[in-house]
Amino acid sequence: MTLAFHYAADEPYSVRMVVHTGSTPPVEWVFARDLLTEGLRRPAGLGDVQVWPAPRRAHQLQAGGGAVRIRISSPDGTTVLSLPARPLRGFVERSLEEVPSGAETDMLHVDESLSAWVAEGRAEDGTL
């Protein structure tokens, strides 16, 4: 099994985690970047995705040791993934360099998107 994490500035609040098992098509999970950020330090998440450090000793994680557990649940089942903390921390840090925490709304172009959506709707129903 392999995991791939993706971050895009045009979706600044979320990360994508793609799980490749080799025996089934890849499965993609989309969840909050803040969930990963918090889960590196302490247990985080209440829903389908939960993240926590293992071992739960902060000094080991800061030193690059330890692992992170990610629990994903769906109607088809639940699994817990374990991965080294260091590369996940690197991924989170790179995403924060691209879009710092608190600056996510600066990346959203809500007015432009809303104007395009309204214009598209008017064109479809014939109004201008």
Reduced to 3 states, what is the DSSP secondary structure of residue 111? helix
The pLDDT of residue 54 is 87
Least Cα distance to 88 among 40, 26, 28, 32 occurs for: 40
Q: Does the residue 127 lie in any domain?
A: no
The alpha carbon of 91 is separated from its chain's Cα centroid by a whole number of angstroms, namely 10
For 69-95, write each residue's pLDDT tens digit.
999 998 888 999 999 999 999 999 999
Count of domains forming the chain: 1
Is residue 61 a contact partner of residue 82, using CB atoms and an 8 Å limit? no
Residue 52 pLDDT exceeds 70: yes
Q: Tell me the residue range of the domain where 65 lies.
A: 2-122
More confident: 97 or 103: 97
Most confident of 13-17, 59-63, 118-122: 13-17
Supply the pTM of this predicted model.
0.74
Assign residue 59 the CATH number of its domain.
2.30.31.20
Q: Does the residue 128 lie in any domain?
A: no
Pull the structure tokens for residue 36: 């990963």
